[in-house]
Structure 1
Amino acid sequence: MSVIVVFLLANYGNGQVVFNNDLDQITSDVCTGTSKKIAVSTVSGTCTPYAGNVNSVVFTWQVESSPGVWQNITAFSISGITYDTEQRINAGGTVISSILTINVAYGTDEATWNYRVLAQGSGGCALATSLNEAIAVKKNRWLGTVSSAWSDPNNWSCSRVPAAISSAIILPAANNPVITVNAAVKDLTLQPGSVLTVNSGYNLTASGPVTVVGDGNFTLQNNANLLQTTYTGNNSGPIRVGRNSSALMRQDYTLWSSPVTGQNLLNFSPQTLTGRFYEYNTLTNTYSAVNPSANTFQTGKGYLIRMPNNHPTTPTVWSGQFTGVPNNGDITLSLVNGGAGFRYNAIGNPYPSPVKMSNFVNANSTKITGTLYFWRKTNNTATEPGYCTWTLAGFVSNGEAQVVNPNGILRTGQGFIVEMVNSETSVLFNNAMRVANNADQFFKITSDDSDELAGDKFCLNIVSDAGVKNQMLLGYFDVATNGVDFAIDGKAIEETSVALSTLIGGEKYLIEGRAPFQNEDVVPLYFNTDAAGQFTISLERLEGLFLGSQEIYLKDNVANVVHNLKAGAYVFTSGAGAFSNRFEIRYTDSSLGVQHPDLGAANVIAYVADNSLVVKSNAEAIEAVQVFDVQGRLLTEKKNIDTTSAIVPLTGNKQVLLVKIAIRNGLVATRKIIF
């Protein structure tokens, strides 16, 4: 609330205006985002025959720009401070006043400014100079007067809770602030001796830097987040970031990545044996030991670390804490590319907040395959693969305990593996990838930020009589083709003792997205096992039309059996070996089907010419063309074509596009282009 301070000025002598009640030479604190009024007045006197007319005195307000140097406020600009002036005359016409309003914006720097006024009467009166009055611009400070509640305005020096446009300074107090609501600040400073805690489940968003001075203590509990949006610069001073592991056993491992700079590996997990810290060796596709006492977490890099050696032998959550300067802004991570088969790198979320997987993948669409791999394996067991696999098509578990679909979110501290493409040797992280998500632990379910493609899909599980497990996903999407699609098809990262997958271009895929569903489709499955035995294939996580009446059949070409998987699991026996022709997925119970024209690349083509998409069919007339981006968003379409060729104008930036081409008789072809 603004306060008006009025000083009456009397004209005593002849010759000039005399300030009877001059400025008080005091300094008043003014909070950013508020204003302050100061005013002077003079009454009619003998220096000039003015009668109190409003034009009889000229007031000129000045500010001290440097010690002893005064400038008119209209000539000297102060960032964040603006002025309004007003001149008044009383009802009797005998008192003339000038009021200066000093407006202090939220982002104004803290400083003290002196003001004075010059007054000159009409008719040749001499110039009179007032004394000084000062304002001290102050940011909002934590006082902790009544409680520890961040959201209580009575705890703040400016009697208001900080917001996205205002700064906050935390001072030592009897009641240290605790954030138990989603909060926002412009910038944040913790003074020495101060303490700030963001409780689990809440977010603090800063649009400017975070500064911790001296022994200031800023702690993010597990599942609490620090988000920074438009500000991409550096922070200063260490914070503490809590992060819980999944419920693991003593000799289990977690792939970690640090959200802060300066965290020593051994100090992060001091009870882990020093020989059980690893980094991924791209050129051998193995983990290599790293000296934890001599190394800190490199920003954006993943490290495989065993649980502390005093951890329980039963599944138990371990609470870790990172300490260092919080990472922020654009982060380019240099990686290793050893050519085909040797392009895998262990990286990780570099921020003290979650990252949306689709944001990361799409920002690196020319650098990686778009498949993310997550380590989760009980140590010394041979019954499951080491990794879970994710693409935009969905998530494939490795069958281990403590694995739940992450639904598109990289947790704080979470490491993972990507595969580079071509000759690329870097990936990018930025603030646009970060999200306010507070679900618990690695692999925790949340649906708010999932970008999984909508489609018709299901998972196939295989398990041996020895308990060895494997899972794969098969789906049909508007934006997919039957070839390899970026961020949709997920290649197997490892050779496992039991595997069920598909083959695309001779390589094994645990996740395959195919062109829109047709019930005549037949999908060959690749099966391998290191040991003879009995095996069971079953369905899991049906979506889209498979939730309805559409059946899913498994054909065993060796046993000459067509089995309805929706009616129950299929049990069979096999010797050791690899079998690329034994099984296939069908959607009718007969090998006979309706014959349709071949929609291969020779008969339906799509290419870009003169900023337009050109589509041609040598099979049937084209009925419609739809163009999608890799996230499945429809960008443009053309209907009712009814000819064997079509031209569709394209706009926008260079990107990968998926083209869905509807052919007469209900057939659909899908092509991938780069525009």
Structure 2
Amino acid sequence: MKKITLLILLSLTFNFGVGQTALSEGEIAITGVNADNPDQFSFVLLTDISNTTQINFTDFGWISTGGFYTVVNEGIVSWTANSNLPCGTEIVIENIGSGNFSATSGTALLTDAGFNLSGTGDQLLAYQGNLTSPTFISAVHFGNSVGWTDATNTNTSAVPSGLTDGTNAVYIGNIDNGIYDCSATSNQTLILVGLNDNTNWSGSNTIRQTLASCAYACVAIGSCASTVTWNGTTWVGGTPDLTTEVNIDANYDTGNGGSEVSFKACSLTINNGAILTVDNGTYIEVENDVLVNDGQLRVNTQANFVQNDNNGTFTLGSSGTASVNKVTAIKQNWFYYTYWSSPVVGETIADAFPDTDNDRRFWFNAANYIDEHTVGTTNGIPDDIDDNNDDWSYALGTDVMNPGVGYATTSGRLGFFPRLDTADFIGSFNTGNINTPVVNNPLNVLPAYSWNFIGNPYPSAIDFIAFQQANSSIVDGTAYFWSQSLPLHGSNPGNQVANFNQNDYATFTVGTGGAAGANGIIPTQYIPSAQGFFIAGLSNGNATFTNAMRMADETSNSQFFKGSNSKKNTTTVANKLWIDLASNNGVFNQVLVGYVEGATKGNDGMSYDAPKLLSNVFAALYTSMENSDKKFAIQGKAPSDLNENEIIDLGFITSIDVETLYTLSIAQLEGDYLNNNTIYLKDNLLDKLHDLSDSDYTFTSEIGEFNTRFQIVFTNKALSTNDSNLNNNRLTIIELDDNHVNFKMSNSLTIKKVTIYDLLGRELYNLKGENSSETYELSKLKSTIYIAKVELSNGEIITKKTIKR
């Protein structure tokens, strides 16, 4: 039995030696840990330290009310520097057996013999001083699914006093062996931010990690180690990186290749009238300040320009200019809208969109958006349309575009269509923290659907997942992007004479992924520069954009999803299935079902399950789930749900009253299971099973809503033929007097649901049952043939044609 003692009464004391460095929180950071034998961990110095400096590491948990939770097989390793060491030094400590520990620099001594990292949950806390009054410096927790919590056993710990999770302490996940991914290595501030963000850690429960794999450089914020200059032909003084001050004294285009490619800089200055162009598919990353002293900085539509330090400045000299040029997708006509956000300071609406009519430039007033009823009614059923049409407001030409706010504009009327449009945003680039107001309006019937129109405020792409996670109490987990592929029409629901189609919204969830809008392009987690988008506000407050969310790479700022159009993707990733609905008269719609960690069969909220916007659609495909009346564009499920017995319910709605041929097809696949198993489409109305992996499925339909017509299944024998035929024979349908009809099973199975369709596929009744015999009044049925679909208690669905006389 382990002996448990609070170290309040008795403790080992470690006093500072003469001349050693007293450290504060965040002046070291733990960089890796291996709990699989032999124990090993690493840390990096984020300040210079002197000879004899001592740091203690313990796996005792911390109690939130104060004091350590101690047991046998927990203990302390004390490390002592044997020379002066500079900031950026990384040290690895390892158990080499017989109570001895090694260190790659300095010495490590086991001062409490119980030290033993556990893969089933443990912590590593770094401190100076003694155990009764420690000064904590850094901490990691790992190996269980609960994260930081109060210390009640050897596997748990509260965040130590004086430390903050995500700032100088981190829970790295349910892994035995973990390592930092080196995402920031250039200065103390960025290293500390990167190391205490658990998304920058990776690891394994079975494979030990190679520690000390990063090369750290402690360049002080605002200072640079050396200077390099571009003279028009070559770099003078070396090659640029995050430690070098970069001067551009002649024209440079990152798209030219050779010596002119993407680069990184500690600071950046443009002189001598030089033009620095950041071309499509390239980037420039600057650690600190930017000065366009005498020249031009041009960032093209699919380029990234990033500043890392939130204290970094962007300055235009008296002869300097900076601009971001954006090119839209092809527009079929002038009245097609684009959603924008300004990446520069002080840009006005008129300067950004000089050719657009004054009454075709808008911003969205989230506080005015109230959706209590379907438009034109008082039925209490929301439809994602503002009831009194005061949510969109005109953006005046003199209005300054606020950073982080979304704006909607059409093209100018003059010229020929189809065409691409361009917008030039001119001014100092936005950088650092940017706060954007978000509203949650409790007057909505569904307050969770309090829509807000915001936008990327930077001249680079941002990571929506990072943005949502940093603002998770304010911003829900789905982003909606306007793709504008379908024309406005008078028959679309809405407050105007003609309204746009909600099928034009592409959707992305942080947990499950993206589904295309009407243009067929699947969005990724990366939101391009200058792009506006809708989110749902969870509470009133400010959503904060930060430089840490910006992307310094070649691909993330592609205007739309960029990748293979193949239906096969053999990368080892989560299983995801995209299904398309199309028609011979222009309908396009897509749903995504993803089997991802954290999701369940139920409604997990908008981080995994994104509702379909159906207010202005002619036809749409959606998924459904038990115990929810919502229709979904994206549905997340647990990975364990995917097997040969899995069923995905697909619903279909159409208001098209002319003869139309619809097609269902697999748009894209990801994951081993989906790539290696046949996918079948089951048409419950026609009692057909179609191999969707082999070919698309075509069908016709009358106007209506068909919530249970289609299913995706993974076996062509979901029920044995004998059982199915047997139960089909045991179902009797008997017409009684006064328009009553009896449905009866002759065995022990009960009837869960009965759905009645006419021969045109229109759903006439959707009835619930709970007994083996159910009688319903079906007065709407005329004397004709109809189709009854009966769902039984064992999950079987029986479809029968019968005649009402």
TM-score by length of 2: 0.50
Alpha-carbon distance in structure 2 between the residues aligned to 1:442 and 1:380: 21
Alpha-carbon distance in structure 2 between the residues aligned to 1:425 and 1:519: 46
Pairs within 5 Å for 1:145-224: 147-149=231-233, 151-153=234-236, 159-160=237-238, 162-168=240-246, 175-179=250-254, 180-190=260-270, 195-213=275-293, 216-224=295-303
Structure 1 residues 446 and 233 mapped into 2: Cα distance closer, same or farther (>3 Å)? farther
Structure 1 residues 593 and 414 mapped into 2: Cα distance closer, same or farther (>3 Å)? farther
Matched, 1:324 2:427: yes
User: CA contact under 8 A between 1:490 and 1:512: conserved in structure 2?
Assistant: yes
Alpha-carbon distance in structure 1 between the residues aligned to 2:653 and 2:413: 36
Structure 1 residues 593 and 513 mapped into 2: Cα distance closer, same or farther (>3 Å)? farther
CA drift of 1:334 comes to: 0.8
Alignment-derived partner of residue 499 in structure 1: 620
CA drift of 1:295 comes to: 0.9
User: CA contact under 8 A between 1:384 and 1:469: conserved in structure 2?
Assistant: no
Alignment-derived partner of residue 518 in structure 1: 643
SS in 2 for 1:299: coil
Pairs within 5 Å for 1:144-543: 147-149=231-233, 151-153=234-236, 159-160=237-238, 162-168=240-246, 175-179=250-254, 180-190=260-270, 195-213=275-293, 216-237=295-316, 239-251=322-334, 252-282=336-366, 283=369, 285=385, 288-314=392-418, 316-339=419-442, 340=446, 342-378=449-485, 380-381=487-488, 385-391=503-509, 392-400=511-519, 403-421=520-538, 423-439=539-555, 441-445=558-562, 454-485=573-604, 487-495=607-615, 496-504=617-625, 505-515=628-638, 516=640, 517-532=642-657, 533-534=659-660, 535-543=662-670
CA drift of 1:512 comes to: 0.8
SS in 2 for 1:362: helix
SS in 2 for 1:493: coil
Q: Which amino acid aligns with 2:653?
A: N
Structure 1 residues 553 and 198 mapped into 2: Cα distance closer, same or farther (>3 Å)? closer
CA drift of 1:388 comes to: 0.9
Alpha-carbon distance in structure 2 between the residues aligned to 1:474 and 1:380: 28
Alpha-carbon distance in structure 1 between the residues aligned to 2:253 and 2:694: 55
Structure 1 residues 200 and 365 mapped into 2: Cα distance closer, same or farther (>3 Å)? same
Alpha-carbon distance in structure 2 between the residues aligned to 1:464 and 1:168: 55
SS in 2 for 1:574: coil
CA drift of 1:376 comes to: 0.9
Alignment-derived partner of residue 558 in structure 1: 685
Structure 1 residues 558 and 465 mapped into 2: Cα distance closer, same or farther (>3 Å)? same
Which segments of 5 or more consecutive residues in structure 2 lack a partner in the other structure?
1-217, 255-259, 371-384, 490-500, 724-805
Pairs within 5 Å for 1:120-139: none
Alpha-carbon distance in structure 2 between the residues aligned to 1:586 and 1:441: 35
Alpha-carbon distance in structure 1 between the residues aligned to 2:546 and 2:221: 28
Query: Could you report, residue by residue, the CA deviation over 1:282-340 in whole angstroms, capped at 9, with x for unpaired residues?
Result: 305466242341212111111111123335302x3333221122111222211222232
Alpha-carbon distance in structure 2 between the residues aligned to 1:265 and 1:305: 10
CA drift of 1:509 comes to: 0.6
Q: Higher Cα Rg: structure 1 or 2?
A: 1
Structure 1 residues 481 and 305 mapped into 2: Cα distance closer, same or farther (>3 Å)? same
Alpha-carbon distance in structure 1 between the residues aligned to 2:246 and 2:575: 50
Q: Which amino acid aligns with 2:585?
A: A
Alpha-carbon distance in structure 2 between the residues aligned to 1:281 and 1:332: 17
Query: Could you report, residue by residue, the CA deviation over 1:585-613 in whole angstroms, capped at 9, with x for unpaired residues?
Result: 32233453799xxxxxxxxxxxxxxxxxx
CA drift of 1:380 comes to: 2.3
Q: Which amino acid aligns with 1:462?
A: L
CA drift of 1:446 comes to: 5.2
User: CA contact under 8 A between 1:228 and 1:431: conserved in structure 2?
Assistant: yes
Structure 1 residues 498 and 216 mapped into 2: Cα distance closer, same or farther (>3 Å)? same
CA drift of 1:239 comes to: 1.9
CA drift of 1:224 comes to: 3.1
CA drift of 1:162 comes to: 4.8
Alpha-carbon distance in structure 1 between the residues aligned to 2:645 and 2:585: 35
Q: Which amino acid aligns with 1:396?
A: A
Alpha-carbon distance in structure 2 between the residues aligned to 1:593 and 1:531: 37
Q: Which amino acid aligns with 1:562?
A: L
CA drift of 1:141 comes to: 8.2
Q: Which amino acid aligns with 1:489?
A: D
Alpha-carbon distance in structure 2 between the residues aligned to 1:573 and 1:328: 53
Structure 1 residues 168 and 106 mapped into 2: Cα distance closer, same or farther (>3 Å)? farther
Structure 1 residues 109 and 261 mapped into 2: Cα distance closer, same or farther (>3 Å)? closer
Query: Could you report, residue by residue, the CA deviation over 1:23-82 in whole angstroms, capped at 9, with x for unpaired residues?
Result: xxxxxxxxxxxxxxxxxxxxxxxxxxxxxxxxxxxxxxxxxxxxxxxxxxxxxxxxxxxx
User: CA contact under 8 A between 2:405 and 2:455: conserved in structure 1?
Assistant: yes
Structure 1 residues 522 and 202 mapped into 2: Cα distance closer, same or farther (>3 Å)? closer
Structure 1 residues 267 and 406 mapped into 2: Cα distance closer, same or farther (>3 Å)? same
Q: CA RMSD in A?
A: 3.5
User: CA contact under 8 A between 1:107 and 1:167: conserved in structure 2?
Assistant: no
User: CA contact under 8 A between 2:341 and 2:457: conserved in structure 1?
Assistant: yes
SS in 2 for 1:412: coil
Structure 1 residues 568 and 160 mapped into 2: Cα distance closer, same or farther (>3 Å)? closer
CA drift of 1:265 comes to: 1.3
TM-score by length of 1: 0.59
Q: Which amino acid aligns with 1:209?
A: D
Query: Could you report, residue by residue, the CA deviation over 1:495-537 in whole angstroms, capped at 9, with x for unpaired residues?
Result: 3221211224211111111122122222332221113444332
CA drift of 1:453 comes to: 9.7
Greater shift, 187-196 or 335-344, is seen at 187-196
Greater shift, 190-199 or 557-566, is seen at 190-199
Which segments of 5 or more consecutive residues in structure 1 lack a partner in the other structure?
1-104, 111-136, 154-158, 596-675
Alpha-carbon distance in structure 1 between the residues aligned to 2:253 and 2:597: 48
Q: Which amino acid aligns with 2:636?
A: G
